[in-house]
Amino acid sequence: MADEDALSREYEQVTQMLDALDTAIAERDTAKARATATARAVGGQLERLGYLARIAGIPFDRELARRLYWDYPDLLVSEIAHPMGAHVSSVAREMGNGAVERPCGGACGRIITWQVSSRTDARKQARLCPECSAELEARRAQRFAEWQVERVRGSEDDRQMLREALERGGEPRRYAEFPGVPGTWAVDENGVPLVLID
Ligand SMILES: [Zn+2]
């Protein structure tokens, strides 16, 4: 049956997409594990540096401490506290509010700066400059407008096809309600598609 064939293809499509998702998740997990391992290696180096600085009686570079704290959330606070000779609980207080400076997440290449009050915020905050933000918003609006045009055109085509099917004595009642899915219609209690009822 044609309908069953089409459905099998849809199932097959889901299976293939899940394979691709599995691959992407495995890649992300591997990259995450590598970042974590590298962060621990940096932590080990900071610990050595902390000892040496203490022996030399020279305070740890505050500017570097701020960078480690605000720009590298993968580093543990304890790994930053140690070379500073500070207690973990006092590091956040010493760091105060941070200014995070990163390249814009868009394609413009601008460096943007924003104020954050916690390391969690530093990770969460959107990283698009105002120009890229406005551009993204405009693109979204455009896509939505295109989608609406497409939807109206699609439903005109549906209506035409259904009228022809009814004229030929067809049975539109086999179509289930599935708004937005091409080729499906909401039907009334007699099985007549609602799109044909004025
Ligand atoms: Zn930008």
Cα separation, 40 vs 62, in Å, equals 20
Residues 144 and 169 in one domain: yes
Question: Which residue has tokens 């621990």?
Answer: 40
Question: Which residue has tokens 């006092």?
Answer: 90
Residues 38 and 78 in one domain: yes
State in Å: Cα 131 to ligand 1 middle: 6
In a domain, 133, yes or no: no
Domain boundary among 77, 96, 115: 96
The domain of 113 spans 97-128
How do the pLDDT tens digits run along the chain, 198 residues long?
Answer: 567 888 999 999 999 999 999 999 999 999 999 999 999 999 999 999 999 999 999 999 998 998 899 888 899 999 999 999 999 989 988 887 777 778 888 889 898 888 888 887 777 666 789 999 999 999 999 999 888 888 777 777 777 877 777 777 766 555 555 656 666 667 777 767 777 766
State in Å: Cα 121 to ligand 1 middle: 20
State in Å: Cα 71 to ligand 1 middle: 19
State in Å: Cα 107 to ligand 1 middle: 6
Q: What is the DSSP letter of 73?
A: T
Residues 155 and 192 in one domain: yes
Cα separation, 71 vs 105, in Å, equals 15
pTM: 0.54
Residues 114 and 142 in one domain: no
Residues 181 and 107 in one domain: no
State in Å: Cα 116 to ligand 1 middle: 19
In a domain, 10, yes or no: yes
Residues 91 and 119 in one domain: no
Within the chain, residue ranges assigned H as helices are 2-56, 62-71, 77-84, 88-95, 119-124, 130-167
In a domain, 11, yes or no: yes
Residues 112 and 156 in one domain: no
* Dihedral angle sign, alpha carbons of residues 131, 137, 141, 142: positive
Residues 1 and 92 in one domain: yes
Burial of 75 (0-12, 13-18, 19+ CB in 10 A): middle
Residues 4 and 86 in one domain: yes
What domain count does the chain have?
3
**Radius of gyration, alpha carbons of the chain:** 29
Residues 120 and 145 in one domain: no
